[in-house]
Structure 1
Amino acid sequence: MEWKLKTFEELTNLEVYNILKERTNVFVVEQNCPYEEVDGYDLVSHHLFKELNGEVVAYLRILPKHAKYKECSIGRVIVKKEYRGTGLAKEMLKRAITIIEQDLNETEIKIQAQQYLELFYGSFGFKTISDVYLEDDIPHIDMIYKSSDK
């Protein structure tokens, strides 16, 4: 089970379908939150994911700087329900930070995190830069990672 990193143009039709299916399962169905899942940012993002038996089991997207924020960004972080607690999220986030620092030569990463994940992201060096706010009725915070703070 290898990690895949692809631009939108490199994704196969089936990979796009499976990614959107799993993101919808987690963010819309599981969290009971109707919102615009297909938001246009996928087209400019790098997609990091792992598949098992044709299903996406872990996924995130990396947005280049100036796409959503002035900083590079990580978003849509998911691990399929059956695979949570296995270390996939930690492995994926470490890999994403390395890709951003080494391949994209970026030193800052901004994220919009669900508040309950503040300690998880904090363990990677992300620091909270906002008060708690509601995004689609879910408490969120903005966090920033700076290579120089490591």
Structure 2
Amino acid sequence: MDYQLDWRFQTFDELTTTELYGILRLRSEVFVLEQRCCFLDMDNKDQLSHHLSGYRGNELMAFARIVPPGISYEYPAIGRIVVSPKGRGEGYGVELLIVSIQKLERLYGKVPIRIGAQLYLKRFYESFGFRQSGAVYLEDDIEHIEMTRPNS
């Protein structure tokens, strides 16, 4: 598959300070400012995770982190899934999920994958094989659901 974005997959220690700053800025731009969520984004899981960053030129367009099993859930997880407002409508979200699943499976094999999804994105995640595996809950006044993708 030809990808639109240039993908980088790194451990926390492999990230440069410039890359880390870009990741934290994008997450703040979307989760804190756009979605008006007042939360501590730096949750000490970044240091334990792998980071998937999609660039268009030198600009970060998409990001997700792969969290090892036993940190957020019993299964490995994909979290902090975000696409820059500048890149929406370009298919970057689809590409981000495809690459995230591939990278997670390279690390952990074909195992169940867990995400905490915003409820309005349920159909999007279902298109990748995720199924609702928990009740609707509020996180920062946004409805979320736990979703699991069975091992394929």
Q: Return the TM-score normalized by structure 1.
A: 0.94
Report the equivalent of 1:73.
77
Unaligned runs of 5+ in 1: none
> Could you tell me whether the CA contact under 8 Å between 2:6 and 2:56 is conserved in 1?
no
Report the equivalent of 1:99.
103
Q: Deviation per CA, 1:92-143, whole angstroms, max 9, x where unpaired? A: 1111111112332241111100000000000000000112110111000000
Q: Deviation per CA, 1:3-48, whole angstroms, max 9, x where unpaired? A: 0000000000000001000100000000111101111110011100
Q: Return the TM-score normalized by structure 2.
A: 0.93
> For residue 131 of structure 1, what is the amino acid of its counterpart?
A
* Cα displacement (A) at 1:88: 0.8
Report the equivalent of 1:43.
47
CA RMSD of aligned residues (A): 1.1
- Greater Cα shift, 91-100 or 115-124: 91-100
> Could you tell me whether the CA contact under 8 Å between 1:72 and 1:106 is conserved in 2?
no
> For residue 47 of structure 2, what is the amino acid of its counterpart?
L
Matched positions, count:
148
> Could you tell me whether the CA contact under 8 Å between 1:65 and 1:73 is conserved in 2?
yes
2:9 is aligned, of 5, 8, 14, to 5
Unaligned runs of 5+ in 2: none
